[in-house]
């Protein structure tokens, strides 16, 4: 026997609790072959790691567990228990998502509704979260985006092109409206906000186009 070897009987075996709370099954392992209790422990650990990264909807967690091969009944039990302690709460998730994405990413309600749908949030839950943004809030955020774009963006227009300054101003309007549309703002509101801001900007916009 080599000096650094130990008899098999002397090697420390992991406790049952350590085994239960151990790492997730190896890639390619068939978690469906595990006993239900062990499946539940592994599924719960995976959910807690995912939730540490960021808040997630129930549908997102369910899909992750399904992709890992966990049994459907096990998934439901684990998610039900996490919901009981409010670690899984689609209403809270949706409200947080809407606030964050509207405030920090400048997304409009239409874009936010689509994002919540891709996250598997029920329409009625999504609607409740979106209600925190009213028309005035949405217009104010769109206005901020246009003002910031006018201050900082390199709009790269060919000022000497056909049509002169009027053509360039129209092109600027279309570009700003398209920017808002990509973020999920209504077209009518977008046109109104852009024209209002360009009118207020006045000579500053003329200098931008010169």
CATH code: domain of residue 69: 1.10.10.10
Distance CA 143, CA 106 (A): 10
Same domain, 160 and 184: yes
Kindly state the tokens that stand for 23. Answer: 């790492």
Kindly state the tokens that stand for 110. Answer: 């239409």
The answer to whether residue 9 sits within a structural domain is no
Task: Give me the DSSP letters along 25-58.
Answer: PPTT--GGGS-HHHHHHHHHHHHHHHHHHS---H
Query: Can you give the pLDDT at residue 9?
Result: 43
Same domain, 53 and 101: no
Same domain, 78 and 95: no
Instruction: Kindly state the DSSP code that residue 8 receives in the 8-state scheme.
Output: G
Residue pointed to by tokens 């990264």: 53
Q: What is the pLDDT along the chain (210 residues), one digit of tens a residue?
A: 444 444 444 444 444 444 444 444 444 457 767 888 899 999 999 999 999 999 999 999 999 999 999 999 999 999 999 999 999 999 999 999 999 999 999 999 999 999 999 999 999 999 999 999 999 999 999 999 999 998 875 544 444 444 556 678 888 899 999 999 999 999 999 999 999 999 887 655 555 544
The answer to whether residue 50 sits within a structural domain is yes
The answer to whether residue 167 sits within a structural domain is yes
Residue 39 domain boundaries: 33-88
Q: Could you tell me which residues come within 8 angstroms of residue 8 by beta carbon, excluding any fewer than 6 positions away?
A: none
SS (H, E, C) 153-195: CCCCCCCCCCCHHHHHHHHHHHHHHHHHHHCCCCHHHHHHHHH
Distance CA 170, CA 71 (A): 58
Same domain, 39 and 54: yes
Query: Can you give the pLDDT at residue 197?
Result: 93
Q: How many domains does the chain have?
A: 3
Same domain, 139 and 197: yes
The answer to whether residue 68 sits within a structural domain is yes
Helices (H), 105-163: 109-118, 123-130, 135-152
User: Domain boundary at 130, 162, 186, which?
Assistant: 130
Is residue 123 within 8 A of residue 105, CB to CB? The reply is no
Same domain, 144 and 205: yes
Distance from chain centroid for Cα 186? 21
Same domain, 95 and 123: yes
Is residue 154 within 8 A of residue 175, CB to CB? The reply is no
Same domain, 159 and 203: yes
Kindly state the tokens that stand for 197. Answer: 């801001």
Query: Can you give the pLDDT at residue 204?
Result: 54
Residue pointed to by tokens 């509207």: 102
In angstroms, the Cα distances linking 148 to 70, 71, 176 are 47, 50, 11
């Amino acid at each position: 026997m080599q000096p650094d070897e130990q008899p098999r009987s002397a090697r420390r075996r992991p406790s049952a609790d350590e085994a239960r709370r151990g790492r997730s099954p190896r890639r390619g392992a068939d978690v469906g072959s595990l006993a239900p209790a062990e499946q539940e422990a592994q599924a719960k650990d995976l959910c807690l790691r995912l939730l540490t990264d960021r808040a997630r909807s129930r549908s997102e967690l369910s899909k992750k567990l399904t992709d890992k091969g966990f049994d459907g009944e096990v998934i439901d039990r684990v998610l039900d228990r996490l919901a009981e302690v409010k670690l899984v709460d689609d209403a809270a998730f949706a409200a947080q998502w809407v606030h964050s994405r509207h405030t920090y990413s400048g997304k409009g309600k239409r874009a936010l509704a689509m994002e919540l749908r891709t996250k598997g949030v029920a329409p009625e839950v999504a609607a409740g979260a979106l209600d925190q943004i009213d028309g005035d809030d949405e217009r104010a955020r769109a206005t901020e985006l246009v003002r910031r774009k006018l201050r900082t963006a390199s709009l790269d227009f060919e000022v000497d092109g056909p049509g002169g300054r009027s053509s360039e101003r129209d092109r600027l309007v279309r570009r700003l409206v398209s920017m808002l549309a990509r973020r999920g703002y209504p077209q009518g509101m977008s046109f109104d906000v852009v024209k209002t801001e360009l009118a207020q900007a006045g000579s500053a916009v003329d200098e931008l186009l010169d």
